[in-house]
Amino acid sequence: MTAFDYDLFVIGGGSGGVRSARLAAGMGKKVGIAEEFRFGGTCVIRGCVPKKLYVYASQFHEHFEDAAGFGWTVGETRFDWKALVAAKEAEITRLEGLYRKGLDNAGATILQTRAVLVGPNTVRLTATDELVTAERIVIAVGGHPTPHFDLPGHDLCITSNEAFDLAELPKSILISGGGYIAVEFANIFHGLGVETTLIYRGKQILSRFDQDMRAGLQAAMIAKGIRVICEDIITHVAEGEGGRRTVTTKAGETLVVDQVMLALGRVPNTARLGLETAGVRTNEKGAIVVDDYSRTNVPGIFALGDVTDRVQLTPVAIHEAMCFIETEFRGNPVSPDLDLIATAVFSQPEIGTVGLSEEEAAKKFDDLEVYRAEFRPMKATLSGRQEKTIMKLIVNAGDRKVVGAHILGHEAGEMAQLLGVSLKAGVTKDDFDRTMAVHPTATEELVTMYQPSYRVRSGQRV
């Protein structure tokens, strides 16, 4: 018999929290889980899922245009933003229901409330002011978009949270940021017919990605008609005529747009969570500091997912939750494996990537072989669309291991998943060479690049 109300109490009903609670409850543990907003968390309610649905919506106008090259005549088309928002809402509500049902079926107690720590084993449920105790507490509260309080007029701007549910589709939008969320939304809004500008302080979008992917995508976005302003930032936003926004940039440009969206990173949801009271340590970004087993400095308190500032992705939060359960409830210590995470940018075209960029690999290995192909995808031959697919393998010449694989092109995210399996298994370039191609596909290029395009020795391209 435990002296606590719960064996496990989870704060936050997102990707990591729900998985922790469901697995522990399924093992017969007494579990409580508190969510202050909607079960499913960022991913289901205002992240990956609605984002991908909007990506699909935004691709249709190119499909309609491309159809002509294949003999189709497409009649007059019209886009209804409100219909898309309603359809999205119905789908995320369905998913939210599934999350609740999964918890319920496993036997977890679902609590619709904010929860805060009041001590190492005690949590306060703010909806009822009730105190509950637990042997173990998992903090999986995620993060929220950086509000950029220093920017005059920041309150006139939206973030990704609001972008999904705007009352009207704006005619024009300025998006500030160069990370994957900014880039994806720029492509979504452009695809839906919005005059879109992206402003980013760096030299080129997507700073942590392979150079070829960054350059290729930026060029493709510009060619589509998205205006990309680099090496500049917004310094002031003011309310203009007719509810529009007048934006001033550091370089002195003035833009008048319907909406300004800030996509400048995310902040962990650790404010007013009672961390100081419980003695839980955070870092300079406000993220909870954990060890390899998601343990905080306070025994019995764990943290996982975005709030820990490791890798902010849904599968990572879920994996960390599974490792936590394995370690704490199954007596099998497992630390999350965050090496070689395959990931995608759902831009148009997409980026799919796993492993090291050429720049990172050049710092790590003395002798690299780079295999690179740039070609027009088959569909574009008849559609007439001017676009390029880029595929790239980075190989450590020393042991022939493929240390990075990068694709810019349609369905690159789908391809990255399978490349992830291969790289995780330690695939060599010779394995690629002896693999038969699937013809005709874009991916066959990956197994038919027999000669290196160039080598990088001691950091220098030769």
Ligand X SMILES: Cc1cc2nc3c(=O)[nH]c(=O)nc-3n(C[C@H](O)[C@H](O)[C@H](O)COP(=O)(O)OP(=O)(O)OC[C@H]3O[C@@H](n4cnc5c(N)ncnc54)[C@H](O)[C@@H]3O)c2cc1C
> Which residues does the annotation mark as catalytic?
439
What three-state secondary structure class fits 22?
A: helix
| Annotated binding-site residue? 276 | no
CA angle at 133 for the pair 312 and 20, rounded to the nearest 5°:
30
Q: How far is the CB of 268 from ligand X (least distance, A)?
A: 9
Shortest Å distance, C-beta 100 to ligand X: 12
Closer of 305 and 404 to ligand X (Cβ):
305
CB of 444 to ligand X, least distance (A): 26
Q: Does the annotation flag 16 for ligand binding? A: no
- Is residue 306 a known part of a binding site? yes
Q: Which is nearer to ligand X, 53 or 447 (CB)?
A: 53
Residue 265 marked in a binding site: yes
Kindly give the pairing relationship between strand 172-176 and strand 195-200. parallel
| Residues in Cβ contact with 178 at an 8 Å cutoff, skipping those fewer than 6 apart | 198, 200, 201, 202, 204, 205, 206, 207, 230
Q: Closer CB to ligand X, residue 106 or residue 370?
A: 106
- Nearer to ligand X among residue 11 and residue 228 (C-beta): 11
Dist. CA 367–CA 110, nearest whole Å? 55
Is 285 flagged in the annotation as binding? no
- SS3 assignment for 47-63: CHHHHHHHHHHHHHHHH
Residues pairing with 42 in the sheet? none
Nearer to ligand X, 124 or 224 (CB): 124
Q: Tell me the closest approach of the beta carbon of residue 189 to ligand X, in angstroms.
A: 13
Cis bond leading into 120, ω under 30°?
Answer: no
CA–CA dist 144, 148 (Å, integer): 12
Residue numbers of the site for ligand X (CB under 6 A)?
11-17, 34-37, 41-43, 47-48, 51, 114-116, 140-142, 160, 181, 269, 273, 305-307, 312-315, 317
Q: Going by C-beta distance under 8 Å and a sequence separation of 6 or more, which residues neighbour residue 14?
A: 35, 40, 41, 42, 43, 44, 140, 141, 142, 305, 306, 317
Phi, psi values for residue 186, rounded to 5°: -60, -45
Query: Considering just the CA atoms, what is the radius of gyration of the chain in Å?
Result: 24
Tell whether 184 is in a known binding site: yes
The CA distances from residue 247 to 30, 153, 240, 364, 375, in Å, are: 53, 9, 9, 42, 39
Closest separation in Å from C-beta 218 to ligand X: 20
Annotated binding residues for FAD, written as ranges, equal 52, 306
Annotated binding residues for NAD(+), written as ranges, equal 177-184, 265
